[in-house]
Amino acid sequence: MASYRQPGIVLTDHHFTVPLDHGDPAGEQLELYAREVVSATDHPDTGKPWLVYLEGGPGNAVRRFIGKQAWLGRAVQDFRVLLLDQRGTGRSTPQNRQTLAQRGGPRAQADHLAHFRADSIVRDCETVRRRLTGGAPWTVLGQSFGGFCATHYLSAAPEGLDTVLITGGLPSLDAHADDVYRAAYPRIRRKVEAHYARYPQDVERARRIAAHLAERPARLPGGHTLTPEAFQSLGIVLGGGDGSHQLHYLLENAFVRTASGHELSDAFQEGVRPVLSFAANPLYAVLHEAIYAQGGRPTDWAAERVRAEFPEFDAAAALEGDRPLMFTGETVHPWHFEVDPALRPLRETAELLAARTDWAPLYDPARLAANEVPVAAAVYHDDMYVDTAHSLRTARAVRGLRTWVTDEYEHDGVRASGPRVVDRLLALARQEL
């Protein structure tokens, strides 16, 4: 195990081997990577308890902190922190167009990726916990999808948990993906309207860019095709605390005058590319709706189907009239697998996953109703990514869960707040508030 220092902390690399299918422990194996983080003032053999952090997603590698950034400085005061790259992400055995091609055709790829949901992630955590803690329970901090995983953890293996802290990630226990997106589109609309109220000049800018793209879709650096629908998906940033400002600065210098007229500037195209590309996290797109799947129903491209119920998000109709262009949010559509070169080879695989019906249930309401693990959850008022009403209904269904409902932060509050969100949740879980 390699150890190294950053300002105020000591990091140690860990590698673990886990089964692809925990139901077949002797079968194919995956490697998991994680970083242990302790305060630089602690003895290397500190007796502090463990906290494992589960990143949002799905399909996102754990955030690469530098020193005591965000909540990490607060956490290492009380814990040895494990920053886990969930299976298929980061330095754990990667799953992307390059590696999945080795598995065979789309059917084999889809069957393989069915093992990359919250249930498998939690069983990974249990394997890792037993190796690190000697069997002692640990604390879980789950952000967004990491909170979904933590909720499954409470259902499947509460004996492994000392405390659970959830930030922006209390899922509905029974909503189908259709229900998730019917609740999501009105929230997205409110975020877009709030953006235009803050930056009214962006109404015309967005319409002008979309109209240009309707006539001439742009090929971005790296091969991504920018269409009006892809441009709309820039609205995903509006769920973060500074997202509206990020979007405004992207739009303000979109065009440059050339000898042949106005063109989208290289700077704009380069700025848009990292927001839209799934090259670094393809599982986010491929498995996004699968995180809601359980109980025998396919997701069947829920975000795309439900979007038709909200005609204000139709870019062509907005451009034909005088309505503002509505950006979209955390929604994945079939066309993502046409415009993004990192996703194109996975289109048929995504189709098969969207049609799949044999998803296992993720949550056990009876077990959650009898929960004895201290749980505290930050619920962000009008969170664009996770429905507040769904979260509060789940909070009432988990025995002993304490909530902090706040509009001080958006979905990224655990990062944007420095130590404050984690400090508040620890105090709630410990009955200090």
With a pLDDT cut of 90, the percent of the chain lying above it is 95
End-to-end alpha-carbon separation of the chain, Å? 39
Question: How much is the pLDDT for 414?
Answer: 96
Question: How much is the pLDDT for 1?
Answer: 72
Q: Taking residues 401-425, what's their average pLDDT?
A: 96
Which range in 40-49, 215-224, 226-235 is most confidently predicted, on average pLDDT? 226-235
The tokens describing 234, both together, are 């820039």
The tokens describing 337, both together, are 């697998």
For the chain, the C-alpha Rg in angstroms (whole number) is 22
Question: How much is the pLDDT for 433?
Answer: 85
* In the predicted structure, residue 92 carries a pLDDT above the cut 90: yes
Question: How much is the pLDDT for 86?
Answer: 98
Torsion angle, CA of 389/391/395/398, rounded to 10 degrees? 130
What separation in angstroms does the CA of 378 have from each of 26, 57, 60, 175, 422?
39, 17, 21, 20, 9
Alpha-helix residue ranges (DSSP H) falling in 235-357:
243-251, 266-276, 282-286, 302-307, 315-320, 336-339, 347-355
Question: How much is the pLDDT for 199?
Answer: 98
Torsion angle, CA of 131/133/135/141, rounded to 10 degrees? -100
With a pLDDT cut of 70, the percent of the chain lying above it is 99
Rounded to the nearest integer, the mean pLDDT of the chain is 96
Question: Hunting for tokens 């509060």 — which residue is that?
Answer: 392
For 296-330, b/e burial (b = at least 16 CB within 10 A) is eebbbbbbbebbeebeebbbeebbeeeebbbbbbb
* In the predicted structure, residue 45 carries a pLDDT above the cut 80: no
Q: Phi and psi for 117 in degrees, rounded to 5? A: -95, -175
Longest dimension (CA), the chain: 70
* In the predicted structure, residue 171 carries a pLDDT above the cut 90: yes
Q: Taking residues 202-219, what's their average pLDDT?
A: 97
* In the predicted structure, residue 46 carries a pLDDT above the cut 90: no
Confidence label for 296 from pLDDT (cuts 50, 70 and 90): confident
Has 358 been annotated as catalytic? yes
Name the β-bridge partners of 268: none
In the chain, what are the domain boundaries? 3-173+363-429, 177-355
Question: How much is the pLDDT for 263?
Answer: 94
Has 144 been annotated as catalytic? yes
The answer to whether 52 touches 82, Cβ cutoff 8 Å, is yes
Distance between CA atoms of residues 74 and 40, nearest Å: 13
Torsion angle, CA of 17/92/163/36, rounded to 10 degrees? 90
Confidence label for 65 from pLDDT (cuts 50, 70 and 90): very high
* In the predicted structure, residue 94 carries a pLDDT above the cut 90: yes
Q: Taking residues 159-187, what's their average pLDDT?
A: 97
Distance between CA atoms of residues 95 and 112, nearest Å: 10
Q: Taking residues 366-392, what's their average pLDDT?
A: 97
Q: Out of 155, 383, 411, 412, pick the active-site residue.
A: 411
Question: How much is the pLDDT for 295?
Answer: 83
* In the predicted structure, residue 172 carries a pLDDT above the cut 80: yes
Of the candidates 13, 144, 132, the one whose C-alpha atom is nearest the C-alpha of residue 83 is 13
The answer to whether 193 touches 168, Cβ cutoff 8 Å, is no
Per-residue pLDDT tens digits for 305-356: 999 999 999 999 999 999 999 999 899 999 999 999 999 999 999 999 999 9
* CATH superfamily of the domain spanning 3-173+363-429: Alpha/Beta hydrolase fold, catalytic domain (3.40.50.1820)
Question: How much is the pLDDT for 260?
Answer: 87
* In the predicted structure, residue 167 carries a pLDDT above the cut 80: yes
Per-residue pLDDT tens digits for 109-154: 999 999 999 999 999 999 999 999 999 999 999 999 999 999 999 9
Helix (H) / strand (E) containing 167: strand 161-167
Q: Out of 144, 277, 391, 417, pick the active-site residue.
A: 144
3-state secondary structure of 186: helix
Where does residue 37 rank: exposed (0-12), middle (13-18), buried (19+ CB within 10 A)?
buried
Name the β-bridge partners of 373: none
* In the predicted structure, residue 44 carries a pLDDT above the cut 80: no
Cα angle 343, 347, 350 (rounded to 5 degrees) comes to 100
Question: How much is the pLDDT for 404?
Answer: 98
Give the count of beta carbons closer than 10 Å to the beta carbon of residue 362.
23
Confidence label for 4 from pLDDT (cuts 50, 70 and 90): confident
